[in-house]
Amino acid sequence: MKATLTRRIVTAGLRGFYRNRTVSLSSIFILTITLSIITAFFLFRAIFTYTLDQVRQKVDVRVYFNTDATEQQIGEIKAKLTGLSQVKSVVYTSRDQALTDFKEKHAGDQLTLQALDELGTNPFGASLAVVAKDTSQYEVIASQLAAGSGLLGDAAGSVDKINYYQLKDSIDKLNNIIGWTNTVGFWLSIIFVLMSCMIVYNTIRLAIFVYRDEIAVMKLVGASNMFIRGPFIVEAILYALVATVITLAIFYPATIWVTKKTVFFFEGMNIHQYFMDNIVSLIGVLLVSGVLLAVISSLLAVRKYLKV
């Protein structure tokens, strides 16, 4: 009995989907726009996250050592810093490398290079570049490096300076920007979801308006609410499936085109490759979003006409 009822509901849904092609196309069109916005938001979020990560990687705390600091002292401090839970990585720059980097940076400044040659010795000390897992953790790392914290131990005398406090204002501003953008992104997502629900609901409600007399007749002759709702649920699922396929078909070539235009701007990020790497997750998000929006909108829209 249940199998027969299910078969009739599915058949009626398929028939309704095909019979009212204009209504179906309008619903699919609106749902495709909604899913396209979701996909665009998905990609923009990835670009934004990548950009922030690039900024985070360029922010670090540097520990500068005296010129007479030994490799053992530097190694001890590096090992302790690497062991901190807040630290992502520690990069060592030797005295010789610091001198080479300085010369390369001032390759066109002959006066500076001449003054450096006149010194007759390497004035630069070694350094450690400490990158935190999160920009909000730099203050904790700096406090660990402060005199008297115990982290530096016997090697404390080898440290010349720590540049955190010179960068503190910039790091605080970056933290504020990250916090602000996350908050704005969250509320924009909420607003967008609510607007999408209203648009899809109103579109499907108009589509179901065509069936109002048919629903009333079915209700009067004793059809169950489930039998009346069933075909609309099937149609809603079909809307979501077709809209998902169309959305993916649009964004596949679109991401190829965008990647070609942004290959130099987003160095290291291939938007099309990201799209393909996350295609399974994206399909899942689009299908779930589309089906939920369409089915819930259909159920709400048809409920009005069940009250006979």
Domain check: are 124 and 272 in the same one? no
State the pLDDT confidence band at 168, using cuts at 50, 70 and 90: low
Strands (E), the chain: 61-65, 87-93, 127-132, 159-162
Domain check: are 80 and 64 in the same one? yes
pLDDT at 183 over 60: yes
Round the average pLDDT of the chain to a whole number and report it. 78
**Count of domains forming the chain:** 2
Domain check: are 180 and 197 in the same one? yes
Over residues 5-58, the pLDDT tens digits come to 677 777 766 676 677 677 778 778 888 888 888 888 888 878 877 777 776 666
What is the percent of the chain with per-residue pLDDT over 70, rounded to a whole number? 80
- Give the mean model confidence (pLDDT) for residues 215-223: 72
Over residues 235-259, the pLDDT tens digits come to 788 888 888 999 999 999 998 888 8
For residue 71, the tally of other CB atoms under 10 A from its CB is: 10
In degrees to the nearest 10, what's the CA dihedral of 160, 165, 170, 174? Answer: 100
The pLDDT of residue 167: 64
Query: Is residue 193 a contact partner of residue 38, using CB atoms and an 8 Å limit?
Result: no
Domain check: are 214 and 271 in the same one? yes
Whichever domain contains 85, its CATH number is 3.30.70.3040
The pLDDT of residue 251: 92
- Among residues 178, 182, 174, 168, which one has the least CA distance to residue 138? 168
pLDDT at 305 over 70: no
- Give the mean model confidence (pLDDT) for residues 207-213: 70
Domain check: are 78 and 197 in the same one? no
Domain check: are 51 and 65 in the same one? no
Domain check: are 50 and 179 in the same one? yes
Q: How much of the chain is in helix, strand and coil states, percent to nearest 5?
A: 75, 5, 15
* Domain boundary pick from 136, 167, 198: 167
The pLDDT of residue 193: 67
In the sheet where 87-93 sits, what is the strand order?
87-93, 127-132, 61-65, 159-162
Regarding predicted confidence, which is higher, 204 or 89?
89
Query: Is residue 67 a contact partner of residue 122, using CB atoms and an 8 Å limit?
Result: yes
Domain check: are 46 and 195 in the same one? yes
Range from 29-33, 81-85, 150-154 carrying the lowest mean pLDDT:
150-154
Domain check: are 232 and 265 in the same one? yes
Q: How far is CA 61 from CA 76, 87, 114, 219, 299, in A?
A: 17, 10, 30, 72, 57
Domain check: are 258 and 158 in the same one? no
Domain check: are 222 and 265 in the same one? yes
* Domain boundary pick from 167, 193, 209: 167
Domain check: are 36 and 144 in the same one? no
Residue with tokens 């069936």: 211
Give the torsion sign (CA, 129, 130, 132, 136).
Answer: negative
State the pLDDT confidence band at 231, using cuts at 50, 70 and 90: confident
The pLDDT of residue 273: 87
Which domain does 156 fall in, by range? 59-167
- Give the mean model confidence (pLDDT) for residues 117-130: 82
Which H/E stretch holds residue 80?
helix 71-82
The pLDDT of residue 250: 93
